[in-house]
Structure 1
Amino acid sequence: MAAGQVITLRLTIQDPVPGVAYSLQDRKSVPVGPVIAGAGPISFDVPVRVAPGPRFLGDFVRSEGASRRFLYLAIGEQAGQRPSAWSRRAKIDIHLLPAGLLEKALAGKVLEARLPGKAGDGSPACATLHPIAGWQVAD
């Protein structure tokens, strides 16, 4: 694996709350690329550098402890929408990507996580979100 090879991870929110802003959030907690949700899914493509180990690096990669690496999706006010009834973010773990999928990404495939957009009460889903069917190679 080349040091710092870039892969693309796609975060797709299956059922976002219409009228609410969603965005990526960079390492400085700045919203990037906000989108106001409509009736259908929304996606964000995230460039991530992969170094041997593997180690995940880049403008959107956050860390917690020695090994946990994740991405944040900002929601409502955290995505720059003012006023908004919500100020949330969702954490998506990337440090546990299966080795076989990571190899496909290193070969140029886009890996996608389809994520739930709504919590049980109909508000935007937040906290740690897990892909609905695991990480997969995007269509």
Structure 2
Amino acid sequence: MARTDRREIAMRIVIDTPVAGVLHSLQARDGHPLDPKSSGAGEPLAFDFTIGVAPGPKFFGDQVRREGAERRFVYIRIGQAAGDPSSPWTRRMKIDIHDIDQHLLDSAASDGRRIEISVNGTGKDSTPACATVPPMARRLV
């Protein structure tokens, strides 16, 4: 597949209701924290990045991780994993992107808007959400 078949799409992950004071970050290509930030009072955190999408769809980019032949996702690092050695948590959120609707991908690519994925940042036990976190919403912004 030629690189010219790839389209660049702007993405945003919004962590709604994160646990206040807990550091979150994207996971960089080398596995280290990227763009760490924390919420002072539980306000949402937003992480912007770009992915490449080719026919199939197939997903590429510094933040895109893979599991098996089809699953593609983005990691959000939490607590110690995000660079805060004093945090009681060392976690990651796995946010799936392989199942983004083709219409949403096409719309984002054609008009240059961003795909925003919102997830709940607090688990049922009131600690930072981790493991696979289902999207609350996916939309163009």
Shorter-chain-normalised TM-score: which range?
over 0.9
- 2:63 corresponds in structure 1 to 60
How far 1:23 moved relative to its partner? Answer: 0.3
In 2, the alpha carbon distance for the partners of 1:57 and 1:117 equals 25
Ranges in structure 2 where 5+ consecutive residues have no aligned partner: none
Amino acid at match of 1:7: I
- 2:136 corresponds in structure 1 to 132
- 1:10 corresponds in structure 2 to 12
Q: Which range moves more in the overlay, 2-11 or 111-120?
A: 2-11
Amino acid at match of 1:75: I
Instruction: State the Cα deviation string for residues 25-82 of structure 1 (Å, max 9, x = none).
Output: 0232111000022221110012101122221001110000111100000000100111
* TM-score using structure 1 length: 0.93
Amino acid at match of 2:32: V
Percent sequence identity is 46
- 1:80 corresponds in structure 2 to 83
In 1, the alpha carbon distance for the partners of 2:124 and 2:15 equals 15
4+ residue runs of structure 1 moved beyond 3 angstroms?
A: none
Structure 2 SS opposite 1:23: strand
Amino acid at match of 2:74: L
1:99 aligns with 2:66: no
In 2, the alpha carbon distance for the partners of 1:49 and 1:6 equals 5
1:115 aligns with 2:119: yes
Which protein has the bigger strand share? 2
How far 1:104 moved relative to its partner? Answer: 1.1
In 1, the alpha carbon distance for the partners of 2:72 and 2:92 equals 15
The question of whether the paired residues in 2 share the 8 Å contact of 1:25 and 1:74 is answered with yes
Ranges in structure 1 where 5+ consecutive residues have no aligned partner: none
How far 1:11 moved relative to its partner? Answer: 0.4
- 2:22 corresponds in structure 1 to 20
The question of whether the paired residues in 2 share the 8 Å contact of 1:16 and 1:38 is answered with no
